Chains A and B, each alone.
Chain A
């Protein structure tokens, strides 16, 4: 086959289509309308984006203001939070076991506060209501369980992040799974002594105040809650603390 046939084929195609159409005007109208629609859609697009952006900014501001975002980030970063947590519930001093790698251990018990942890106070209905869904419990449950690595920092006097997290989880577990309030208070104090300005310290202080209330130490509880109600921690637990204060101060 030579080029002749290919040329004839190209010629046939060229003659078949010359680009002329009787519907040119309709085609133009179609293009202009479609273009107009596209332009209008583009102009409207930012209007739809504004509420979305506002919602994201508001969420970020709320998360930052309420210290929950920091707490979540802290927990998400603490991948080395380990099965040691279980043993640290009873004895938070875990330094003796640091040098050897450990196998991952299961969670001790579910941390959901389904069981009534403490004997109810006479005026504790409000307390129960506030405690019904502790956000920190949900956050702690999401923390990944990874076996500790042998390279974990050892030998410092200051507790490591994993130890601090273990202390927190021990206290939290004690509070929300029916532990003894006195023991719970000790565990919260240990956590706060180890990390007085830790990412979870606002939640720890709040939970400690609740524990004090359960122990009947109303004045101390009210003093602790007063800071939340005053807004020392931004909006974090402000409303809950205010309602608890009303209950505690009721005659």
Chain B
């Protein structure tokens, strides 16, 4: 791979949207499976992908596996990349495509932990604000486990990561109104579940 181009990527001058993807040497190198290019992509985007994976799964180790899976799939997936979104969003989209298995595994693990350890479920259980927020976060993940994958991904992208519905739509390859509808359904269901758990 061209070192000049690598330096552009590292310094942030690289802007995939403005470059014809088929002729973009970085993407060509990535699609060819060059480890240099994959390393650059990892260093550039792993934080965003890991944050998304953790927020989606609520499980660090499952998220780490999902990040690895997404980057391993990236070289073959990037052949379909046409530059409609940023490469970062594209990597997250690849992660979403591999999410189903990891979401199930994380939900299963959470269920097993709950069986062994009885966790307090209401925010009134502790006066400490920080602990209350932790418990609220845990409760949200338990509630997310009860949503469909589409609703879950839409909620995480729009409500937790605060992306626009347009951006989320590009990531999940669905129309914007569909994503908004998924978010609304998810919120309605989450409210019901959290109310049942005693959060008000």
Complex: chain B residue closest to A36, CB-CB: B35
Q: How far is the CA of A165 from the CA of B140 in the complex (A)?
A: 73
Stretch at the interface among A11-19, A155-163, A169-177: A11-19
* A10 adjacent to B39 (CB under 8 Å): no
Verify if A109 is at the interface (C-beta below 8 Å from B): no
List residues of chain B with CB within 8 A of the CB of A6: 159, 187, 190-191, 194
Q: Are B194 and A9 in contact (CB under 8 A)?
A: yes
Give every chain B residue within 8 A of A103 (Cβ-Cβ). none
Known A-B contacts A13-B55, A28-B39, A35-B33; the reply to A1 vs B195 at CB < 8 A is: yes
Decide: B58 and A35 in contact? CB cutoff 8 A.
no
Q: Quick one: which of A20, A32, A38, A39 contacts B39, CB cutoff 8 A?
A: A32
| B residues near A18, Cβ cutoff 8 Å | 47, 51
Judge if A115 is at the interface, Cβ distance under 8 Å. no
Number of interface residues of B (CB under 8 A): 41
A interface size (C-beta, 8 A): 30
In the complex, B48 has a CB within 8 A of chain A: yes
- 0 or 1 for each of B32-58: is its CB under 8 Å from A? (1 = yes): 010100110011001111111011001
> B64: CB under 8 A from chain A?
yes
Which B residue sits closest to A25, measured CB to CB? B43
Partner of A13, one of B50, B58, B67, B195: B58
A247 CB to closest chain B CB, in angstroms? 64
Number of A-B contacts defined by CB within 8 Å: 100
Name the residue of chain A whose CB is nearest to the CB of B35: A32
Q: Chain A residues near B200 (CB, 8 Å)? A: 1, 5
- The residue of chain A having its C-beta at the shortest distance from the C-beta of B58 within the complex is A13
Residues of A within 8 A of B187 (CB): 3, 6
Q: Does A8 contact B (CB under 8 A)?
A: yes
CA distance A31 to B162 in the complex (A): 28
Contact code string B62-92 (vs A, CB < 8 Å = 1, else 0) = 0110011001100100000000000000000
Complex formed: what's the CA distance from A11 to B48 in Å? Answer: 16
A-B contact pairs, 21 of them (CB 8 A): A1-B194, A6-B159, A9-B194, A9-B199, A10-B160, A12-B140, A14-B161, A17-B51, A19-B46, A21-B47, A21-B50, A24-B43, A28-B39, A28-B43, A31-B67, A32-B39, A32-B42, A34-B72, A35-B72, A35-B75, A39-B33
* Chain B residues engaging chain A, CB cutoff 8 angstroms: 33, 35, 38-39, 42-43, 46-52, 54-55, 58, 63-64, 67-68, 71-72, 75, 133-134, 136-137, 139-141, 159-162, 187, 190-191, 194-195, 199-200
Given A5-B200, A32-B39, output 5 extra A-B contacts at Cβ < 8 Å: A1-B194, A9-B136, A18-B51, A19-B51, A35-B35
